[in-house]
Structures are given as structure tokens and as C-alpha cells.
Structure 1
Amino acid sequence: MKLRDVPSACPRLWRSLPVPSAELRLDLVLSSGQTFRWWESSPGAWTGVLGGRVWTLRQERDRLWYTVYEEEEEEDGDACPTGAAEPDGAEPERILRDYFQLDVGLPALYRAWGAADPLFRKVAKDFPGVRVLRQDPVECLLSFICTSNNHISRITAMIERLCCTFGRRLCHLDARPVHAFPSLSALAGADAEARLRALGFGYRAKFVSGSARAIAEGLGAEGLCRLRAVPYAEARRVLCALPGVGTKVADCVCLMALDKAEAVPVDTHVWRIAQQRYGAVLGGRSLTLRAHQEIGDFFRGLWGPRAGWAQAVLFCADLRKGQEPGSRGRARGGRGRDSRGDGPP
């Protein structure tokens, strides 16, 4: 394990767990628009914030290596990684297994999806290990509100500004300050919308602050988490009642934070895929609520109860294709794709 390229790492404090690349590819999962808090801090090493702590992750020889950084004690102090929150490392391993949903066996799902769908089989062979993250519902929701009419690099920069302005500072890594995702109360304040507009959030500012306020005064963060236990349709209905949350954003949150593996986020791009690649005549002439339902039902019928996971694989492949040299336009995030169908309500 070569650790010299990982910022501030102490080799004795690294731990690992067995994770074959067929089960997880960090480079595909952490850069494909599911989350916006990870960056490639050195070749093959990914640093980000998870569970209110700063982590660096790396894969080598079918093992997932990780270290967790202590919060700084002094205003200008540098962080030093700690191998675990508990002496035996059980808690960080539990967090990683939960976040990457490692209890879900991916190769068997790929085989089932490929057997049902020749197009999936053709595309997926070059994109193993793409799985859906299980994120904090508040962070996932407020982040995806920022994705309308947007692309991944811009969304990532927006979320970074959001965290630096409203979030608690966790540590410095190589002089880079790293902050936690803001609390609901921080984003629900009277001046939050104005401050977000000053950060370049535009019309999204009122939706981020408005949804934070609505959750804080209503469900609360705990109530949002409890949506994991209710049926998919009910969770989506509750989410769509929040400011700035349409069907696509609600489906993203259902899939990536609320355990609704059948949720298929649909934007104009996914609609075109259904029509052009699968020959499905769905949704009429515009992306209405009926169209969302019909397209989602089409893919659920094709791929089964984890249709959202299968779509994540095809989306990742499509995103990578858009990033290849010579492709037209800048890379766009499928979950935060810049498309007319995903604008403000």
C-alpha cells in the first residue's frame, strides 16, 4: 500500500476491508453525480466528508483502504488521521459498509440486468462496481435542489461554497479547510437566502433555505430519515411538497438516501434514452408527472426492484462518454444534468 501520495496520512493509522472492484469502483461512484463532497486528492485517493468526519479512501488489490481524520483542536492546526472512532475500527467500517451498501451483492445484479437487457449487458462490461450510495437524507435533498439546470463541476463548487460558509470547520488538509455539511438551523436562518444568493445560488437560494426551514419546522431531520420505512410513493409525495422539489429531485433522494431502490430519476435525457435506445413510446410530448411515472414503470418492468441501481450504471457510462476527448459540450451530471426538463418549478 503506497501512502506517500495521500495528504497528511500516517501509515500506521490506515485500515482496510475486503472489497473487490466488481463490487465497488471508487473512481466511478464518487465522481458520477451521486454526491458532491469527494475529490481525488491524489491519484487513486479520494478525500471527502462522511458522517461529520473527513476521510481518505483508496482501493488496492481488492481491498478498500481508509483513514479518518481527527477534528482540529487549534484554530490553525493541521489534522492527523485516526484509524477509527473506536479502538477496533468497527465503527468506521460500519459507516463505510452502510454508505456504500456493501451488503448488496453487485455482480449477481449485473448478471440479472444483463440477462434481461442486451443494451445493459453491452454497456456495463466496461463499468463494473457502480453502486448506489446511502447518503444522509438532509444533505442529499438540499444538494439535489442545487442540481436543476446545472452540471456536476458547477454543483460541486456550489456545495463547497455552501459548506465553507454555513458548515462547521472540521480540519485542514494541506492548508485546505474542510467543512461539515451545514445544519438545518444554519440554512433556515432569516438571512440564509440572501447569503446563498451572494454565493451564486440564484433562484435555488430560496428553495434551499425554504426546504431547510420547512424540514426544521415540520418533519425534522429524524422525520426525513423515517421516510426510509414508508412506501416509495408516500416518500416521494412528502418530498414533492417541499420548496423546489420536483419529481426528479424527489426520486434522486428516494434512491440515494431513502432506500427506495426502485426509484428511477427521470429527466429529459433519461426520457430520450427510453425513446431512442429502447424504442419506448412514453410520456407524450412533454415530461409531465405522467411521463415520469410511465418511464419509471418501464424501467422497473425491465430491470426489476433495483431499477434505480441499474440506471445508475447506464448513467455513469453515459457521463463518461460525454467526458471523452472530442465529445460535444462539457460533461454534465445525469443527476444534475443541465436540461430544460429539470428547471425550477
Structure 2
Amino acid sequence: MASLTTNNWRKLPIVLTELCIDTTLRCGQSFRWRKTQHDEWSCALHGRIVSLRQDSTYLYYKSTWPSAKYLNLSSSTASTNGDSNVEGDDTKALLQRYLNLEPNLTLHYEHWSLIDPNFKKKAPTFSGVRILRQDAWEALIGFICSSNNNIKRISQMVGKLCVHYGQFIGHIGEEVFYDFPTPEALSADEVETHLRDLGFGYRAGYIAKTAKSLTYCKPQGWLQSLCNLNPYEQNSNYKQFLSGGREGYREAHSQLLQLQGVGPKVADCVCLMGLGWSEAVPIDTHVLKIAQRDYKFDNSKYKNLTRNNYEAIGNFFRTLWGKEAGWAHSVLFAADLKVFSERSSVPRGIKVTETNKSETMVIKRDLEMDESTNEVPEEISNFQEDKPRSRRVKRQKVL
């Protein structure tokens, strides 16, 4: 077993209304965090195991490092790691970025509650939902795995990718941790067949082809070039171009659609949670139901997620909530997840100003559908092209 060094617990002053890890780490953004001993959340990130726990006023964190000789790290990472000394440990900076701690979430919640009565009803029991700033490559592969899948199985698939192709980091108790595999590790010719043997189904081809595309076809740094380099910019004139999103967001979304297994929803997930485009609003059948139920979208007109309907719903939410529409969307998304359906009280330290039990409906999410036994040819199960039609002809469902 590899030699491990664990740094002491350190803390960041952050209240539950600014970050609730029990919600944020379980609401379908990241699929590798696991609850380990002593009610801690742990995940392998950038060559170390990061562990988190929280009370009403502090986020506590520690890093567990293997000895450098057990890791195949780049020289820059190895020098940063040193041999696990606190002085060279960049875990604080890593977490501040990964957990996206710069935006003032309380102010955003207050703003969304003022302009959206439905958000105001749901927000008190779901305070502290932040959008993570994950590695874009991990977000891309994780959400390719999400097609016609549920959160438990997505997590299992991502776990298999790490075990079979990622760097071993170490153990915490009986839990074994591996880092997320690189594109190069998933680009070998035998990867697709192996992933099919592991139960990935048609997603095996998407993952292998996407890894090869980034490794051999795309310019180095291509995916990172799609990132929002200034995610916290304040622009008083943003409404003039926000309905369809900023130019950089639209370009990133368009580029991602060129990859195997990436449809509009997966592209928006990657834009929001991996590339820093806060106006991205991923829309699946679950969000479609929210739009119909809570925002009065006509059930007959918006029966299916055609291209026009997808864009119309996204533009509606961007116009309603503003530049951080994806953040607001994720709060309502979490509020309807089955895993939180029995939540009857808010985390400590959060003042409840208004509740409405009639609103706590459980609606089946796209990521909670039972796995289909049939092969699906493209990531289009919840997305359909508009077809030209006569006004006198009833629209047929596009398969």
C-alpha cells in the first residue's frame, strides 16, 4: 500500500447559505464525491485525496497525499506537492476555484427571489447550491455518461473509468481513490471494447472517440480555449445579448456539439459546470416539466424538446434570471430531485422565511430514468429536430 501523508484539518469561513456541500455534491454535477468516515466527503483531485466536512460557519478540509514516488506526476505538480508539506500544498486555492467560492450566493438568491415567486418558494430549503468549476475534460466525459442514465449508474461508470484508467492515489479506510483519467489514457484502440465489457453500452464509443479527438485531432488546449476566462465580470449591458447567451458561450456550445455523444443538453452541462459559462441552462425532460408546471409553458406546444423549444426555454430562463441563470436553474433542479424528496428541514444556520409544502413535488428527472436495454444511436433521446409542417397537419413525434 502506498505511503500517505495527511495534512491537518484547516478551515474556510463559509456559512451554509453560501455553500451546502450535502446538496451541492449530490445534485448531479460531479459524480466522484463519496461520503466516507465521520460524515466526510472525499474525492481524488489533482494528485491528492481531498476531504471535506462542514458546520454552520466553517468548511473544513484536509488533503491526503501519497509519497511522490508513487505518482506519475509532471515536474510542476511534483514540485508543488513536494512530499506533502503544508507550505507547498495548494489545496486551499484548488478548493476556492473548484467550489466556485467567489460569487456572493446570498445576493443572487435574494435577487432571484425578488423576480421569481417560484424560486422564492423553493429556495429556503435549498440554500447554498453552488455551481462547481470542474475540470472541463472530466465534466465532458461525466455528462456523456449521463445520457439516458441515472445518477447512481453515472457514478458507477465514472468510478470504473477511474479504477481502470486513472492514477491510483490511495485509501481512506476501506475506500480506494483514483484520479480521473486523462484523454490520452482513454484514447487507446482497445478502450471502446473494454468499456463495452464494463457495461457502458453505446457510451463506450462516444467516450473512446471523444478521447481520440482531443488527443489526436484537436489542437493542444482546445477544450480549455472554450473556457470563460472572466466568469465574474460585471457588465451592466449584458441584457442586450443575454437571451441567447454571450458570444463566447454560444461558440463553446457550438464547438462541443462537434464531439461524439454531445447533444445540446450535454453541451450546456459542460458549458455551465466545466467551462464557466453561467448562463448555460441544461434542459432535459425534467426541466421541461418544471417549465410546464411552474412557468406555464403550454403542454401541447412544448410537448417535446425540439430544437426551437430547447432554445425558447433556455432563453426564457436567461431573460428571467440573468447572467447566472444556470445557477438559479440548478437550485430548482435540486429541489425536484428524488434524493432530496424527503428533506423536511433546512440545514442549520439557514433562516426559513417562507415555505409551501404543496410545491415539494417529486418529478422524475432525466438522469433518473431506468437504463434502457436498447442501443441509442445518438445523444438525442430528449432532443428532437423541428420538422417543417403544414398548419393543418398534426405534428408527429420525431423519433
Short-chain TM bin: 0.7 to 0.9
Aligned partner of 2:369 in structure 1 is 338
2:279 maps to: 262
The corresponding residue for 2:292 is 275
Instruction: Name the counterpart of 2:17.
Output: 22
Task: Output the CA distance in 2 between the equivalents of 1:202 and 1:143.
Answer: 15
How far residue 268 of structure 1 moved from its aligned partner, in angstroms, is: 1.1
| 8 Å CA contact 1:148, 1:344 repeated in 2 | no
State how 1:169-248 maps to structure 2 within 5 Å: 169-219=168-218, 222-229=221-228, 231-248=248-265
Cα distance per residue 1:76-117 (max 9 Å; x no partner): xxxxxx999664477211111101111100000000000010
User: Measured at CA, do residues 35 and 83 of structure 1 come closer, stay the same or move farther in structure 2, by a change above 3 Å?
Assistant: farther
**Runs (5+) with no aligned partner, structure 2:** 71-80, 229-246, 344-361, 373-378, 384-399
Partner residue in 1 for 2:30 = 35
In the superposition, the TM-score normalised over structure 2's length comes to 0.75
Deviations 1:156-212 (Å, cap 9, x if unpaired)? 111111110111111122243211111111111100000100110001000011111
Q: Indicate the residue corresponding to 2:109 in structure 1.
A: 110
State the alpha-carbon separation in 2 of the partners of residues 43 and 291 from structure 1.
46
What's the TM-score, normalizing by structure 1? 0.87
Offset, 1:333 = 5.9
Whether 2:63 is the aligned partner of 1:68: answer yes
Alignment partner, residue 239 of structure 2? none
State, as a whole percentage, how many aligned pairs show the same letter.
39
- Identify which range, 273-282 or 114-123, moves more after superposition: 273-282
Equivalent in the alignment of 2:355: none
Quote how far apart the aligned CAs of 1:9 are: 9.2
Query: 1:311 aligns to what?
Result: 329
Contact conserved, 2:143 with 2:269, CA < 8 A, in 1?
yes
The 1:107/1:83 distance shift into structure 2, 3 A limit, reads farther
Secondary structure at 2:149 match in 1: coil
Larger Rg: 2
State the Cα distance separating 1:273 from its structure 2 match: 1.1
Deviation of the 1:331 alpha carbon: 9.4
Find the aligned partners of 1:45 and 1:342 in 2 and give their Cα distance: 37
Which amino acid in the other structure matches residue 300 of structure 1? Answer: R
Consecutive unaligned residues of structure 1, counting only runs of 5 or more, are 1-7, 76-81
| Paired residue type of 2:325 | A
In 1: Cα distance, 2:365 partner to 2:181 partner: 23
Moved more, 283-292 or 170-179: 283-292
Judging changes above 3 Å, is the alpha-carbon distance between structure 1 residues 100 and 9 closer, same or farther for their aligned structure 2 residues?
same
SS at match of 1:231: helix
Tell me if the contact between 1:251 and 1:265 (Cα under 8 Å) persists in the aligned partners: yes
SS at match of 1:308: helix
Residues 33, 333 of structure 1: 8 Å contact kept: no
Distance in 1 separating the partners of 2:101 and 2:45: 16
Corresponding letter in the other structure for 2:187: A
Q: Shift of the alpha carbon at 1:275?
A: 1.4
Question: Do 1:15 and 1:66's aligned partners in 2 also have CA atoms closer than 8 Å?
Answer: yes
Counterpart amino acid of residue 113 in structure 2: G
Instruction: Report what 1:78 is aligned to.
Output: none
